């Protein structure tokens, strides 16, 4: 039995008529009992089409309740589900499907485009009322069938979650019942009662695919927006009494720009838990003041199951502005050198993570799996960092983001953390460009606070010169209106490196 199927059924018994899912703020919603019944109905229809244990299904659905019903139904028949996000381009979706090699694809006709895999294809439209959910999903009756393969075993995996794909095609991280159960236990350990929450990530993201079961068991009411927009998100958060804002730093920045923010009733907001990249100190200060809430920075990855470290809600400013906190319960952090040898606290090395939530491996990619996972269960994250004297993790960038200027290593995130404190800098990212003398030098892409008064390279070098060695200072500043982001909301450094190369 998959853990999600267990969670759907248990939640129906424990929370019954309480609301489980809401499309935005309504009126379309499903109770825990209705979600269980709808997914049972769809599971029966899929089983009748020969889909069963261990077979692979791809969901090409927008962010909607239908996606959740389909995911739960597939879990009930033991299928392995991967979400292929609607935000990807047609070419990216096609490449992801080719890598996935699914037995079944469920999607809307708008997303079922291009060359589709040799699989059962079931077009659906979004359900418009609970009666349509009661029958499963509104299938359009134009399925493309093929000979159904026998059920197969993949050591009982449940979901394949594609990574953000900062370089090349996203890889599929595989998770099973063991990992999802561990994630649910960790996330629910500190929760005393059910709460309303806004789903801030895409439904194909690790923040939903591996955490849905935990939300169901906790009795949380999940509001799903078809697309995250700051004003609509803030309206929902305040009107529905959402106590915890999740997401990435860019979303917080957009919330702070909503006109009339001071007039919103934010009394119910108790905390912001933000990951997906650094939260600049100024952003944290403004968010705490605007929302009157604690701010916690989360460090994790798709491969770690969305669990890693957290800063405490009562953390000092030094901890909050300079670190990503301490490991969560059941998570081990180790710093290693290039040979895999553990290094002392206070020295910079690669961050390794070990916990019950770490992925089983990469789907159809044994070489990448061997490169990422050690035989004794450690995940090599590719991130660089150090453990300070109070056991907090301080990140120094990505191993593959590091560049060498004149024989000296430069870690972009270390440089960015200093430049971010300049009063004229809104956002910043540093990447290398080739140099005939030094080999590589740093280029700072800056989003200025005031577009009419951007900082110069001389100003930034003078500002950072007292805190950074000369070889770490940027040689060039490029002013941009925004930084490119990956599908996971992280700065797309590969896109910036291409700009430098061009």
Q: Which pLDDT score, from 0 to 100, does residue 488 have?
A: 64
Taking CA atoms, 121 is separated from 55, 102, 327, 420, 458, in Å, by 14, 10, 43, 48, 58
CB neighbour burial string for 364-399, b if at least 16 within 10 angstroms, e if fewer: ebeeebeebbeeeebbbbbbbbbbeeeebbbbbbbb
Q: Are residues 122 and 252 in the same domain?
A: no
* 203 occurs within a structural domain: no
Q: How far apart are CA 143 and CA 233, in angstroms?
A: 36
Query: Could you give the 3-state DSSP secondary structure of residue 446?
Result: strand
Q: How far apart are CA 432 and CA 476, in angstroms?
A: 10
> pLDDT tens-digit profile of 78-103?
999 999 988 777 878 888 999 999 99
- Contact between residue 92 and residue 102 where contact means Cβ atoms under 8 Å apart: no
In the chain, the number of structural domains is 3
pLDDT-based confidence at residue 156 (cuts at 50, 70, 90): confident
- Output the CA torsion sign for 242, 194, 5, 181: positive
Structural tokens at position 475: 């040689």
- Mean predicted confidence (pLDDT) in 442-459: 96
* Final residue in a domain of this structure, among 188, 216, 247: 188
* Final residue in a domain of this structure, among 397, 422, 456: 397
Q: Which pLDDT score, from 0 to 100, does residue 397 have?
A: 77
Q: Are residues 126 and 265 in the same domain?
A: no
* 319 occurs within a structural domain: yes
Helix boundaries (H) for 16-149: 32-48, 65-76, 90-100, 130-134
Q: Which pLDDT score, from 0 to 100, does residue 152 have?
A: 53
Angle (CA) 296 298 302, round 5°: 160
Least confident piece of the model among 24-33, 291-300, 489-498: 489-498
Q: Are residues 336 and 366 in the same domain?
A: yes
> pLDDT tens-digit profile of 240-251?
999 999 998 879
* 197 occurs within a structural domain: no
* 208 occurs within a structural domain: no
| Number of neighbouring beta carbons within 10 Å of residue 89 | 8
* Final residue in a domain of this structure, among 188, 222, 248: 188
Cα atoms in the 13 Å half-sphere on the side-chain side of 224: 22
Q: CB neighbours of 165 closer than 8 A, spacing ≥ 6?
A: 92, 171, 486, 487
Least confident piece of the model among 8-17, 162-171, 309-318: 162-171
Query: Which tops the pLDDT comparison, 201 or 239?
Result: 239
- Mean predicted confidence (pLDDT) in 286-299: 96
* 209 occurs within a structural domain: no
Query: Could you give the 3-state DSSP secondary structure of residue 441?
Result: strand
Q: Which pLDDT score, from 0 to 100, does residue 92 have?
A: 80
Q: What backbone phi and psi angles, to 5 degrees, belong to 470?
A: -60, -35
Least confident piece of the model among 164-168, 191-195, 412-416, 489-493: 164-168
Q: Are residues 437 and 343 in the same domain?
A: no
Cα atoms in the 13 Å half-sphere on the side-chain side of 167: 9
Q: Which pLDDT score, from 0 to 100, does residue 458 have?
A: 97
Least confident piece of the model among 77-81, 98-102, 149-153, 270-274: 149-153
Q: Are residues 304 and 408 in the same domain?
A: no
* 426 occurs within a structural domain: yes
Helix boundaries (H) for 121-176: 130-134
Q: Which pLDDT score, from 0 to 100, does residue 175 have?
A: 98
Q: How far apart are CA 374 and CA 392, in angstroms?
A: 24
- Mean predicted confidence (pLDDT) in 52-69: 96
- Mean predicted confidence (pLDDT) in 459-471: 91
Structural domain boundaries, residue 383 = 239-397
| Number of neighbouring beta carbons within 10 Å of residue 112 | 18
Q: Are residues 340 and 449 in the same domain?
A: no
Per residue, what are the HEC states of 162-194? ECCCCCCCCCEEEEEHHHHHHHHHHHHCCCCCC
Helix (H) or strand (E) holding 123, with range, is: strand 120-124
Least confident piece of the model among 50-59, 149-158, 211-220, 348-357: 149-158
Q: What is the pTM of this model?
A: 0.84
Query: What are the respective helix, strand and coil percentages of the chain, to the nearest 5?
Result: 30, 25, 45
Q: How far apart are CA 271 and CA 297, in angstroms?
A: 11
Q: Are residues 65 and 99 in the same domain?
A: yes
> pLDDT tens-digit profile of 159-217?
999 986 544 567 999 999 999 999 999 999 989 899 999 999 899 999 999 999 999 99
Query: Which tops the pLDDT comparison, 198 or 418?
Result: 198
Q: Are residues 160 and 275 in the same domain?
A: no
Taking CA atoms, 327 is separated from 169, 315, 318, 330, 458, in Å, by 30, 14, 17, 8, 39
- Contact between residue 349 and residue 335 where contact means Cβ atoms under 8 Å apart: yes
Taking CA atoms, 273 is separated from 248, 381, 430, in Å, by 8, 21, 25
Distant-in-sequence contacts of 227-230, Cβ < 8 A, 24+ apart: 227/63, 228/200, 230/254, 230/255, 230/257, 230/258
Q: Which pLDDT score, from 0 to 100, does residue 150 have?
A: 56
- Mean predicted confidence (pLDDT) in 323-350: 94
pLDDT-based confidence at residue 409 (cuts at 50, 70, 90): confident
- Mean predicted confidence (pLDDT) in 41-47: 95
Q: Is the pLDDT of residue 149 over 70?
A: no
CATH number at residue 115: 3.40.50.12780
Q: Which pLDDT score, from 0 to 100, does residue 154 have?
A: 47
Q: Are residues 99 and 73 in the same domain?
A: yes
* 184 occurs within a structural domain: yes
The fraction of the chain above a pLDDT of 70, given in percent, is 95
Cα atoms in the 13 Å half-sphere on the side-chain side of 264: 25
- Output the CA torsion sign for 449, 452, 457, 459: negative
CATH number at residue 446: 3.30.300.30
Which of 350, 328, 231 is CA-nearest to residue 275? 328
Edge-to-edge order in the sheet of strand 425-435: 425-435, 439-448, 476-479
Q: How far apart are CA 9 and CA 85, in angstroms?
A: 26
| Number of neighbouring beta carbons within 10 Å of residue 47 | 15
* 496 occurs within a structural domain: yes
Q: Are residues 180 and 84 in the same domain?
A: yes
Q: Which pLDDT score, from 0 to 100, does residue 423 have?
A: 94
Q: Which pLDDT score, from 0 to 100, does residue 230 have?
A: 94
- Contact between residue 63 and residue 21 where contact means Cβ atoms under 8 Å apart: no
Q: How far apart are CA 423 and CA 435, in angstroms?
A: 29
Least confident piece of the model among 76-80, 362-366, 374-378, 434-438: 434-438
Q: CB neighbours of 338 closer than 8 A, spacing ≥ 6?
A: 350
pLDDT-based confidence at residue 487 (cuts at 50, 70, 90): low
């Amino acid at each position: 039995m998959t853990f999600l199927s267990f969670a759907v059924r248990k939640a129906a018994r424990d929370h019954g008529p309480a609301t489980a899912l809401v499309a935005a703020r309504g009126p379309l919603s499903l109770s825990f009992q209705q979600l269980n019944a709808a997914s049972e109905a769809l599971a029966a229809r899929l089983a009748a089409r020969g889909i069963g244990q261990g077979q692979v299904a791809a969901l090409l659905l927008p962010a909607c309740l239908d996606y959740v019903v389909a995911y739960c139904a597939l879990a009930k028949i033991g299928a392995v589900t991967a979400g292929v996000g609607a935000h990807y381009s047609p070419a990216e979706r096609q490449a992801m499907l080719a890598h996935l090699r699914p037995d079944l694809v469920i999607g809307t006709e708008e997303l079922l485009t291009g060359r589709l895999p040799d699989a059962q294809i079931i077009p659906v439209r979004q359900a418009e009322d609970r009666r349509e959910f009661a029958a499963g999903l509104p299938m359009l009756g134009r399925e493309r069938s093929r000979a159904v393969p026998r059920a197969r075993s993949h050591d009982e995996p449940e979901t394949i979650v594609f990574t953000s794909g900062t370089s090349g095609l996203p890889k599929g991280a595989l998770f099973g019942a063991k990992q999802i159960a561990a994630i649910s236990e960790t996330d629910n350990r500190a929760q005393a009662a059910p709460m309303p929450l806004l789903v801030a990530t895409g439904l194909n993201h690790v923040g939903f695919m591996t955490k849905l079961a935990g939300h169901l068991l906790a009795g949380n009411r999940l509001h799903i927006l078809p697309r995250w927009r700051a004003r609509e998100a803030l309206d929902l958060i305040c009107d529905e009494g959402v106590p915890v804002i999740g997401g990435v730093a860019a979303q917080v920045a957009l919330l702070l720009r909503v006109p009339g923010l001071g007039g919103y009733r934010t009394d119910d907001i108790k905390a912001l838990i933000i990951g997906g990249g650094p939260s600049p100190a100024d952003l944290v200060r403004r968010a705490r003041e605007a929302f009157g809430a604690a701010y916690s920075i989360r460090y994790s990855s798709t491969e770690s199951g969305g669990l890693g470290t957290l800063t405490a809600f009562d953390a000092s400013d030094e901890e909050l502005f300079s670190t990503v906190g301490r490991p969560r319960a059941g998570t081990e952090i180790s710093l290693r050198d290039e040979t895999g040898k553990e290094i002392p606290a206070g020295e910079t090395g690669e961050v390794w993570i070990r916990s019950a939530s770490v992925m089983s491996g990469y789907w159809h990619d044994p070489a990448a799996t061997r490169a990422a996972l050690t035989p004794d269960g450690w995940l090599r994250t590719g991130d660089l960092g150090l453990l300070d004297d109070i056991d907090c993790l301080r990140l120094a960038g990505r191993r593959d983001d590091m560049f060498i200027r004149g024989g000296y290593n430069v870690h972009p995130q270390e440089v960015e953390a200093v430049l971010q404190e300049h009063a004229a800098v809104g956002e910043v990212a540093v990447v290398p460009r080739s140099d005939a003398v030094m080999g590589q030098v740093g280029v700072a892409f800056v989003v200025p606070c005031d577009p009419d008064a951007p900082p110069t390279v001389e100003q930034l070098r003078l500002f950072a010169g007292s805190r950074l060695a000369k070889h770490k200072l940027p040689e060039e500043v490029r002013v941009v209106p925004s930084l490119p982001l990956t599908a996971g909301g992280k700065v797309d450094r590969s896109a910036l490196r291409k700009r430098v190369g061009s």
